[in-house]
Amino acid sequence: MVSKILKTSSLVLAAGLMVNASAWADEPAQKSRLSMGGYGEAVMSRHFYSDNFKRYTNADQFKDADSYGRFDLPHVVINIGYDFGHGWTMGSEIEFEHGGSESAVEIEEEETGEYETEVERGGEVALEQFWIQKSWSRALNLRMGHIIVPVGLTNMHHMPNEFFTVYRPEGESSILPCTWHQTGISLWGRTSDWRYEAQFIAGLEADLFGSQNWIKKSSASPYEFDVANKYAAVLRLDNYSIAGLRMGLSGYFGRTAGNSLKAFKYSDIKGDLLIGAFDFTYNDHNWIIRGCADYGHLSDSQEISKINRTLGKGSVSPQTQVASAAYCLGIEAGYDLFALSAKMRQEGQQLYLFGRYDSYDSMYKTEGAIVDNPCWSRQVYTVGLNYKPLAEITVKAEYAYRQLKSQFNDEPTLSLGVTYAGWWK
């Protein structure tokens, strides 16, 4: 009986660490109670448009701007988990975004000899997951701590081998927190052809909403704690009834106004936030097809916008207007060209030729006097290749064409990337 519990909890730990709804089919062999893994991305890109911050307000001035290039480490992640036994496990995920961050203190010799703090490297370091879990069975698990919020396709499937593009799909990652992680409680499991997950977490912070990214930046509290004056609920259901096909529905409801250190400023409004999302993944007959549709509505957006403009220069708010509704649509399809070669199939190599389409608008609907900024309505067309010499390694190449409204300049980009995702132990 003890060995059965240990085996069950180890499998649940392996599935939960990568936060992958299909992880039950991909879990690593458990040779010890300690599990280690991770994923990472290195990217080179060339942008054939201006990076000037006025390129939308004065588009004509930047119509023939020079291109610019960038190297980037979007995400480098280390997963560590441990199986304590008797159904108790721990999972953690440390993420270094864009190379992490560095600072140093030194003596300034050329001026007054004072101590000086310098930022030497940009980026972020974040603890994206840390939870303790009790598993009674494959169908019933209780997770407590800092967890992934599984709203939308990308949040639930955010490892680099779970999308074709060099960067994470643009639509969802532009309007929603991505990867969305908060502290709370989750009840989840899988039985037969269904997987479910229900969560109780803190509400988002309304003072962090904005016009460009809607609610994207509101889950990462700038304080040493998450403000929890208001709460939110999350529900996700996935179905695997059809061979090769997974379909998922996810939803979020929470109150945002007043979930701030200056809660008194929002005392007369609610700021109810409702998000609904559908997504699917098909992987069979040498095809991989993925798609998503997300829609969100925010009540009292005009009042929230007015209050955020009064918070002062020292506040954490971007102090921009926020829309009452935002949406995104995305679909990608890729075919494994190496499936046509018996030799390549035998060696396990894959080469996917793919195409992708995204449409999104962070100011899809506005309320009252809020002005809809048309530059945040975008469509993106992407074509490219994914070469997989091994199951854990992917080399990516793509050409993306971001199309804006006619009064703005379109934004084409050429990108190359190399990624890994897997278990080391």
Domain-wise residue ranges, the chain? 2-102+124-423
pLDDT at 3: 44
pLDDT at 224: 79
pLDDT at 276: 98
pLDDT at 245: 98
Contact (Cβ atoms closer than 8 angstroms) between residue 44 and residue 70 = yes
Alpha-carbon span 94 to 77, nearest angstrom = 6
pTM of the model: 0.88
pLDDT at 17: 58
> In CATH, what is the architecture of 2-102+124-423?
Beta Barrel (2.40)
CA distance readout (Å), 229 to 180, 252, 293, 316, 318: 19, 17, 30, 17, 21
Alpha-carbon span 175 to 192, nearest angstrom = 33
Q: Report residues of the chain scoring pLDDT below 50.
A: 1-12, 14-15, 19-29, 108-111
pLDDT at 415: 98
CA distance readout (Å), 348 to 25, 69, 107, 174, 345: 18, 34, 56, 34, 5
Alpha-carbon span 350 to 418, nearest angstrom = 15
Place of tokens 């081998």: 161
Residue 246 parent element (H or E): strand 245-255
pLDDT digits (tens, 9 = 90+) for 219-273: 887 777 888 899 999 999 999 999 999 999 999 999 999 888 888 888 889 999 9
b/e burial code for range 115-129 (CB count within 10 A of at least 16 → b): eeeeeeeeeeebebb
pLDDT digits (tens, 9 = 90+) for 134-169: 999 999 999 999 999 999 999 999 999 999 999 999
pLDDT at 102: 60
